[in-house]
Amino acid sequence: MVTCQATDACNNQRSASFPVTVYTSLRVHKFYDTNVNGQDDDGSAVAGFKMVLSGGASATQYTDAGGNTTFTGLLPGNYTVTEVLPSTSWVSTTGGVSQTVTGLSCPTSLNFGNYCFSPPTQGLTIGFWTNKNGQNKLQAQDQNGGSHDRRRRHALRPR
């Protein structure tokens, strides 16, 4: 609760009280863990990875070109962020596909590292998904409600 008091030129005073809601945020960083040590040693960001927020609020976002996304406008509370892996070839190197923050009150950052131990199927390599043809195909699939599997290929866009 915030209380304000004002005094005018004639020395008249008035006060008002009102609640103030303070929001916080969760920043997610997604990286390709080239040496599988759980650390972002070389800045290999992964764009287009689907991240799902649950708990005190629900939202789905995709990582940007820097491998980041931020869930904003969150009330203090408990939240879980889960990454959606594109296939069983991808493994987490940072402790699992979900991370939970209990008692979130200040802005917090979570890191998700992954390593892909086998190439994508159907002859479409990571190189394809990072060029304009692959990007156009991904966007068309998302806009047209395409197959769930193709939407997941967003994760194959390392930076």
DSSP run (H or E) holding 136: helix 132-143
Q: Are 44 and 158 in contact (CB under 8 A)?
A: yes
CATH placement of domain 24-158: 2.60.40.10
pLDDT in tens, 121-141: 555 555 565 667 766 665 665
Alpha carbon distances (Å) from 130 to 23, 32, 86, 87: 35, 14, 15, 17
pLDDT in tens, 14-44: 999 999 888 999 999 999 888 889 999 988 8
In the chain, what percentage of residues exceed pLDDT 90?
A: 47
Q: Are 3 and 17 in contact (CB under 8 A)?
A: yes
Q: Where exactly are the structural domains of the chain?
A: 24-158
DSSP run (H or E) holding 129: helix 126-130
